[in-house]
Amino acid sequence: MNPSTHADNAAHDIAAHLHPFTNLATHPQVGPLVIRRGDGIFVEDDQGRRYMEAMSGLWCASLGFSNERLAKAGSEALRSLPYYHTFNHRSNEAAIALAEKLLTLAPVPMSKVFFANSGSEANDSAVKLVWYYHNAIGKPDKKKIIARRNAYHGVTVAAASLSGLVPNHRDFDLPIARILHVDCPHHYRYAEAGESEEAFATRLADALEKRILEEGPETVGAFIAEPVMGAGGVLVPPATYFEKVQAVLAKYEVLLIADEVICGFCRTGEMFGSTTFGLRPDILTAAKALSSGYVPISAVMVSEKVHAAVAANSGKIGTFGHGFTYSGHPVACAIALETLQVYEDENILAHVKTLAPRFQQGLQRYAARPHVGEVRGVGLIGAIELAADPARRTPFDPAQKAGARVAELALEQGLIVRAMGDAVAFCPPLVISAAQIDEMFERFDRALVGFEASMA
Ligand code: PLP
């Protein structure tokens, strides 16, 4: 069969495909970018154009786009057991091995692993676990969950409610009840003049405590946080933030959910962002790099404190009435297991630690550019935030779509980055080489020069 032409693909895509996170009104004019194949950290479109994928797709393809070991693990799993479920005491060997493996990698002692298919489902499951847990321990009012403005936790009803981004709520009639949002820990944007990171963190922790007291500590069940806020613009927490927040949570017996969907599996220079930033979660959600994005799978790890109460309660009811048809899918688990094995065999964590300084220094070079307000990042994730007047921290008028223009110019240079407002993010596959990091910034530099020329 001959491959379709781009014109054919575009026409059929426009006619049949409803795209997520896309302006649906303009899609017929803009048309799709159709990616046909992947090769290492590159992808190729249906017109033969090659792009360096500096976002790992959606922060997930940690091993790049052509890992043979994952393909082999998947095809072997498909041949031996293409599907089985894990309801009603059923299990499969891949799910068992993966659960066990994850417990050995967990940043704090965890007791059990629940499987789902996406970050959203993992976070929805975490919310339900928090509610179930508090019913189980006889605190049925302790159900509110605190998230942060600019957080991104997914799009299912509870996860979208946890997210603190306007487009996830607007006209979807969200957030649902019992989900609260507190201040975003972005020092550059929200600190007061002259306020140190530590002082800013103290102010946010004090505000969190005040909010818990206003709501009534007996009504607040959990706090959810990404160690580094990803889709909110790659926001690295200010120094001492999590230490101070966790002291407040402990005081009022509020559980901590760490959303490790982006940070998990080496991205921040440790196996989990919780290790990098000192989080001690009761519940941890992971997805994306768990399978290098090759198949949908997510995991929810729970501490023994949570598990013991949940298990006892399910005993009273007769079942734990939650789970997905594909929870612990044997093919997904086999690929995830192989992904974790590749991290180990190829020493990906050490590779990230070695390359992180080159990556971060490469980003920092942009700090002095005329339209760059802030450069931030950790490990192999980072962003530059564009600003109309960096000295005054004045953002661009959103109508100028500065971030989107830079991403567009980068695409013309064969580089895929992601604009989130005026933050331009980089989250390359963890297997990127030193030379490829340099090439990534050379391409980006050309894009930025083009942007600067257009602003002159
Ligand atoms: N949590 C975080 C931190 C994410 O970045 C994402 C997706 O980008 C999600 C949850 C939702 O994951 P999914 O798109 O797999 O539902």
User: 22 C-alpha vs ligand 1 centroid, how far in Å?
Assistant: 16
Percentage above 70 pLDDT, the chain? 100
Beta-bridge mates of residue 147: 181
Residue nearest atom 10 in ligand 1 by C-alpha distance: 153
CB atoms within 10 A of CB 223: 26
User: 150 C-alpha vs ligand 1 centroid, how far in Å?
Assistant: 13
Ligand 1 atom closest to 58 (CA) = 8
Q: Report the candidate in 412, 158, 145 with the shortest Cα–Cα distance to residue 254.
A: 145
Task: Name residue, tokens 């020092």.
Answer: 187
Q: Ligand 1 within 6 A of 152 CB? A: yes
Percentage above 90 pLDDT, the chain? 99
Give the pLDDT confidence of 420-435 residue by residue, as tens digits: 999 999 999 999 999 9
What domains does the chain contain, in order, with CATH numbers? 33-66+347-455 (3.90.1150.10), 70-345 (3.40.640.10)
Sort residue 323 into left (φ over 0), alpha (ψ -120 to 50) or beta: left
Q: Ligand 1 within 6 A of 120 CB? A: yes
Query: What number is the average pLDDT over the span 209-233?
Result: 98
Query: What number is the average pLDDT over the span 348-355?
Result: 98
CB atoms within 10 A of CB 295: 20
The whole-angstrom separation of Cα 452 and Cα 418 is 18
CB atoms within 10 A of CB 343: 22
For residue 141, give both structure tokens: 């009012």
Q: Ligand 1 within 6 A of 297 CB? A: no
Candidate from 55, 56, 120, 326 with most ligand 1 atoms within 8 A of CB, to mutate:
120
Radius of gyration from C-alpha coordinates of the chain: 22
Ligand 1 atom closest to 119 (CA) = 12
pLDDT of residue 2: 67
Give the pLDDT confidence of 222-251 residue by residue, as tens digits: 999 999 999 999 999 999 999 999 999 999
Q: Ligand 1 within 6 A of 293 CB? A: no
Give CA separation, 95 vs 121, 343, 346, in Å: 17, 18, 23
pLDDT of residue 3: 77
Query: What number is the average pLDDT over the span 386-398?
Result: 95
Give the pLDDT confidence of 246-298 residue by residue, as tens digits: 999 999 999 999 999 999 999 999 999 999 999 999 999 999 999 999 999 99
pLDDT of residue 456: 82
pLDDT of residue 1: 56
Q: Ligand 1 within 6 A of 154 CB? A: yes
The whole-angstrom separation of Cα 155 and Cα 37 is 27
Q: Ligand 1 within 6 A of 426 CB? A: no
Enclosing H/E stretch for 402:
helix 402-412
Going by C-beta distance under 8 Å and a sequence separation of 6 or more, which residues neighbour residue 364?
375
Going by C-beta distance under 8 Å and a sequence separation of 6 or more, which residues neighbour residue 279?
107, 225, 227, 242, 246, 256, 258, 273
